[in-house]
Chain A
Amino acid sequence: MTSTLQRWFGRGWLSLGYIFLYLPIVVLVVFSFNESRQDMVWAGFSTKWYGELMNDTEIISGFGLSLRIAVLTACSSVLLGTFAAFVLNRYRRFPGRTLFSGMASAPLVMPEVIIGLSLLLMLVSVQKMFGFPERGFTTIWIGHTLLGMAYAAVVIQSRLQEMDKSLEEAAMDLGCKPRQVFFLVTLPNITQALASAWLLTFTLSLDDVVLSAFLSGPGSSTMPIVIFSRARLGLDPRVNAVAALTILVVSIGVIASSIYLARAERRRLKEIAAAFKGE
């Protein structure tokens, strides 16, 4: 395969791939402005579905619940994930390490139905024995944290691995007590990983269907659960409206952060280059 042929083949493949990835997204947004309800036939431009969305209490309260759970989940996942990442990265040997490592990474790949079912069975048993927790907010939060912790641990662990270990030794050498070392030296150097982990687990929790369905109770339907039950029945343009809004927010977020990060990186490289010239 000649080089030009390869280049065009590559461009073609990538373009088709991106079209495949983005087609549904575009469709969602376009048809959120469709006049007609059922058919995916373009009947005219209309923003009425956005209006109806404002009055849709089910979705709005679902969104509120999802948002609260997502924020809490992100915080607890990052906290526990940091612990787990630290343990896996720094402590080479302790009894039960393989078990710990397996448990911390399994939720990443295990089908959610399995995790949901097991967790629910246990929580119900606990409820029958101790009288709490009620299925709802708390139980969903626990389930999401289990999943989120696994993701957060991966992100944070990879950052811990590339961090220069001698920084912590240097801190101790200069008189820093072991507990202080973490807060004064390690933590400031992993903030970017912590932020990524927070965003990642936030998104995961906001979007989760299966775990939420298993662990929710009466009156605690998260937004994905609402959307899912409607989607099973058929097409609902209000869902398209939600989708369009979500896509808008996410796109702005992703593009803005990419630009910010790229700029910060460019500035940093310039500073390093200047330092070498200046010397």
Chain B
Amino acid sequence: MTIAPPFLSIRNLVKDFDGVRAVNDVSVEINKGEIFALLGSSGCGKSTLLRMLAGFETPTGGQITLGGSDIIAVPPHKRPINMMFQSYALFPHLTVWDNIAFGLRRDGLPKEEIATRVDQMLALVQLSAYGKRKPHQLSGGQQQRVALARSLAKRPQLLLLDEPLGALDKKLREQTQIELVNIIEQVGVTCVMVTHDQDEAMSMATRIAVMSEGQILQVGAPGEIYETPNCRFVADFIGSVNLFPGHVTIDEHDHVVIDSEEVKHFVPHGITGVEGMDVTVAVRPEKMVLQLEAPTVEQRVHANEHGHNCVEGVIASVAYFGNETHYVVRLDSGVELKVSRTNAGRYDESLRREQRVFVWWDGADAVVLTR
């Protein structure tokens, strides 16, 4: 199997603003056809990185290569890259049709071809009847579709999305996520998107890069990032997590035992590390089991972990979400654990506040983090 060369290659990219380093030595490679998300909270540098790809900011250092050629020196209007702006940036003085045709006209394409393309694009986003309208005569969702059509009209090699769903309300967001991915995959364009919303990134992207303070902490498919975060920050940033700081007491090639304040952890695989090392064990709330009696040996998946990976505490709060219930369990030491369950059956009355419970999990579901 031949591995395709990376389509978009970013190497050691740096951007300084007035002595503040917004993007700090970022290197990543993006493959043709994938939807790549830059995920992070505001100020982490993701928007700056996107703008450097578009050409609106000049990097202080580093290289950007698209399809083999260096594009840093190329001004934005000459790059084969198109961007969909967070505010949509539809030209208010032009109709929908003219908005989409704008980029094509700049290229000097013949009239008939422009007409064909624009009609194609309108059909793609299902707005064929709206060509004559002006942007202010459209709803938010419709404006977004026009913005998308406009950015795809020139068949760019790379499509950039800046917080694409930020301006939409929740219901519309879920629907649009699916539509957006469908259209992008249908067209087959490589896409880099920027978002602070992890649900968006997880559901839409092929691969995600988690960013913080100008650096990329981890790159991987959504499942990878969620199940095997490589550091505390990523574990905590994506979804909810319970973190147990502790140190390694037994280090074997097929299992490790980690001591932390409330519980002994048994993890059924080896880790790269040494005895006595300080680590953090991360366990996701949905991997934990909540029950009134202590777990029996038969319930445990691995026999040797009986006595490990189990704590006792009191339910501090119950948050019912319809499909799920989130519990906060307070341990005797004061530490609070987050446990969540899907409500496969009806509402369980026996689990309420002040109830004493046991929480246990399978050691294989724990992730050991060294940083």
Contact = CB atoms under 8 A, between A and B. Distances in A.
B139 A276 contact: yes
A20 B82 CA distance: 59
Interface residues of B, number: 31
Given A167-B91, A185-B91, A172 B137 contact: no
Contacts of A39: none
Given A164-B87, A164-B89, A167-B89, A173 B138 contact: no
Contacts of A166: 85-87, 89
B55 to A, nearest CB: 8
Nearest to B142: A279
A78 to B, nearest CB: 19
B83 A173 contact: yes
A188 B89 CA distance: 14
A21 interface: no
B102 interface: yes
Given A272-B137, A275-B139, A276-B139, A169 B85 contact: yes
A268 B133 CA distance: 12
A56 interface: no
B136 interface: yes
A279 B141 contact: yes
Interface residues on A, range: 20 to 34
A272 B136 contact: yes
Interface string A168-180: 0111111111101
B85 A170 contact: yes
A274 interface: yes
Interface string A244-279: 000000000000000000000000100110111011
A36 interface: no
B173 to A, nearest CB: 15
A167 B90 CA distance: 7
Interface string A81-120: 0000000000000000000000000000000000000000
Contact of B77 (A177, A188, A272, A276): A177
A271 B107 contact: no
A175 B137 contact: no
A166 B90 CA distance: 9
B137 A173 contact: no
Interface string B208-232: 0000000000000000000000000
Interface of A: 164, 166-167, 169-178, 180, 185, 188-189, 268, 271-272, 274-276, 278-279
Interface of B: 54-56, 75-78, 81-83, 85-87, 89, 91-93, 102-103, 106-107, 133, 136-139, 141-142, 150-151, 154
25 contacts: A166-B85, A166-B87, A166-B89, A167-B91, A169-B89, A170-B85, A170-B89, A171-B102, A172-B76, A172-B77, A173-B54, A173-B77, A173-B82, A174-B77, A174-B103, A175-B77, A175-B103, A178-B77, A180-B106, A188-B93, A268-B136, A275-B137, A275-B138, A275-B139, A276-B139
